[in-house]
Each structure stands twice: as structure tokens, then as C-alpha cells.
């Protein structure tokens, strides 16, 4: 049986260290059989991977790639709170925030970057309910931010 860790490895990825909070919060909280992650930015090795508004200085395609990074960081935060990637039963809900230029309406396609990544890694357990919301601005001028709720063992 192929595990989520196997699928990550096949993509050339491992779970990164959990990104340190930029304010007064924790990356994830477990309550009962659920983990709620804080919003995760597209940070790799401590560096934000892009800035600006989608539909202006950031293309929707680049933003979808950044949403994928956010989802990987959210998965790391959830796994950290759950005791490991193997403890994740399913992704229940994803909320994606897109810093949008006026008139940009492709938020759903941007957040598909996160959704498709979670399905690649977790298979059917990665399918989830979702909201994709346009915002005027996000922390650190990030183009995207993703948070999720996962069921765990």
C-alpha cells in the first residue's frame, strides 16, 4: 500500500519543518480528533516565495504554485500536531485566501493548487470542502494563504 509519505517522496518532497509563527499564535491546534492549522504562507527555508497581488504582479499560475507550497506547510503543521503524517485520516476543510487585484475573479483556480496537491499526496483522503476568498492584502504581502482542518487518529 502506498502511503502519503511515499507519495510525497515520489514528488521529490518531504515534510518541511513547521514554519515559525510571525505573531502571537501557534501553527496548529489539536482538539479531539481534529487539527486546525493557522494560515500558512508560501515560505520555504524561512523565505517568502512571492509577494504582490494576483492578477496584477503575480500570475494566477504562479499563485497556484504558491498555494501548493502553502498546502505543504499546512500539512507539516497538521502532522506536527497530530504526531506524524500517518495520523492524518482526511482533510475536512481548506480555506484559501488570495490577495487579489481589483477585478480578479480566479480565486478558485488559484486555490486548486493547494487542493490538487492534497489529493496527490493523500488520495481520496485529500478531497475536502473548500472556500477560496479574495482579499485586499495578506500578511507580509503574500499572494496566498491556506489553512485547513484535518481529521486525525
**At CA 78, angle to CA 76 and CA 84, rounded to 5?**
75
Mean pLDDT score of the chain, rounded to an integer? 97
Whole-structure pTM value: 0.97
User: What is the per-residue pLDDT across 132-142, written as a single tens digit (0 to 9) for each?
Assistant: 999 999 999 99
User: What is the per-residue pLDDT across 42-59, written as a single tens digit (0 to 9) for each?
Assistant: 999 999 999 999 999 999
User: What is the per-residue pLDDT across 75-121, written as a single tens digit (0 to 9) for each?
Assistant: 999 999 999 999 999 999 999 999 999 999 999 999 999 999 999 99
Helix (H, G, I), strand (E, B) or coil at 118: helix
Confidence class for position 22, pLDDT limits 50, 70, 90 = confident
What letter does residue 147 receive in the DSSP assignment?
A: E
Q: Where would I find the H helices in 11-152?
A: 60-82, 107-122
pLDDT of residue 1: 80
Ordered by where they begin, the domains of the chain are 4-13+25-152 (3.30.1330.40)
Task: Find cell 509519505 and name the residue.
Answer: 5
Amino acid at each position: 500500500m502506498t502511503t502519503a509519505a511515499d507519495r510525497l517522496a515520489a514528488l521529490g518532497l518531504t515534510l518541511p519543518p513547521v514554519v515559525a509563527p510571525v505573531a502571537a499564535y501557534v501553527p496548529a491546534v489539536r482538539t479531539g480528533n481534529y487539527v486546525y492549522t493557522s494560515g500558512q504562507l508560501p515560505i520555504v527555508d524561512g523565505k517568502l516565495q512571492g509577494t504582490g497581488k494576483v492578477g496584477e504582479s503575480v500570475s494566477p499560475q504562479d499563485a497556484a504554485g504558491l498555494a501548493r507550497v502553502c498546502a505543504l506547510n499546512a500539512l507539516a503543521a497538521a502532522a506536527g500536531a497530530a504526531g506524524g503524517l500517518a495520523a492524518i485520516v482526511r482533510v475536512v476543510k481548506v480555506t484559501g485566501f488570495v490577495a487579489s487585484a481589483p477585478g480578479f475573479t480566479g480565486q478558485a483556480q488559484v486555490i486548486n493548487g493547494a487542493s490538487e496537491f492534497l489529493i496527490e499526496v493523500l488520495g481520496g483522503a485529500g478531497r475536502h470542502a473548500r472556500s477560496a476568498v479574495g482579499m485586499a492584502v495578506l500578511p507580509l504581502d503574500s499572494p496566498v494563504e491556506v489553512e485547513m482542518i484535518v481529521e486525525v487518529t
